[in-house]
Every structure is written in structure tokens, then in C-alpha cells.
Amino acid sequence: MMGPFGTLLPQIAKEELGSSPFEAGLLFAFMGAGMMISSLGIASVPDLKNKGGWFMVSLMTAGFVLPALGLSPWYALTAVVIFLGGMGGGVFMNLNQTLVQANSPHEMMGRVVGIHTLAFQGIGPMGGILAGFMAAWLGAPIWMAISGGILLALTTMAFLTQPVLRKME
């Protein structure tokens, strides 16, 4: 998700929505506002049950958000979708960190968090390279939609086949 989203959203904003650089940047601000709201919401829940299930569902929602962002014909709709996607992203990021830290042995915490961070920081740019290549071939909106479909298929499969992950606390 991170590769196609970060790489292709500015291009889609400019070429498909006719947005200025400021308006393209504003889309990222809408996402940030959604993330902040959901992050504060999660922080206010003292004992969230089934964190793994919430985590997986938040990732599954990105499978709907990416195609909607890629195929939206209107800036206002894109702004609403990215705000809602940001809310899902806030749930994902917070629960991701919580689950990694809560389920890692204390003596391995530094290494686990280091590998986790490396994976996030390394995989995003690699996905960006693929997104740029595929967008040049198929077009940015189509590749964004395909990326969302792939993400939705993979996360749905994980949700259905990984009950231990769904029930993580």
C-alpha cells in the first residue's frame, strides 16, 4: 500500500483531478487528520479487545481505499476517501506497533523493532519503484486500483486463515 499510495497519489491529483501542488499536499493533510482522530480514539479505549482483528480489518479497508483514490473523478470525493483511509491508517499504525511490542520477548525487543522499522522503511520505496513502473505501463489510476485489489485479497486471506493473528491482544 505504501509504495503505490505515496508514489502515485500526487500524480493522480495532478493529472486526473487537475489539482495544484497545494491541493495535492492538502490531500495528505486530510489523511493526517483522519489518522490523528483514529489514533486519539484508540488511545482513549482502555482495553481494546481483539486488537489483531481490528488491525487486520484496518488493513483490509486500505484494499478499498486505494482503488477509490485511483478511480475517483472528483477532488472532494478523493478528500473524503483519503480522510477515511487516514482513519484506517491510524488504527493500523497504532495497533501494528502495539502488537509488535506486546508480543515480542523483552530481550529481543530492540532487534524486533529494528527489523520491523527496516521492513517498513525499505518495503515502501521498493513498492514505489514497482508502482512507478506499473503506472508507466498501465496508468496510475489503474495500477492504484489493482494494488488495492491485491492488498484486499491478501489481507482477506490472512484474516480468514490466521485466527491466532485475529485474536492477538
The structure's pTM equals 0.88
Give the three cell numbers for residue 130. 514497482
Q: 58-62: long-range contacts at Cβ-Cβ below 8 A with a sequence spacing of 24 or more? A: 58/88, 58/89, 58/91, 58/92, 58/95, 59/1, 59/88, 59/92, 59/151, 59/155, 60/152, 60/155, 60/156, 60/159, 61/85, 61/88, 62/1, 62/88, 62/89, 62/92, 62/148, 62/151, 62/152, 62/155
Give 105-136 pLDDT, tens digit per residue. 889 888 988 888 888 787 778 888 888 899 99
Give 32-88 pLDDT, tens digit per residue. 999 999 999 998 988 888 888 898 999 899 999 999 999 999 999 999 999 999 999
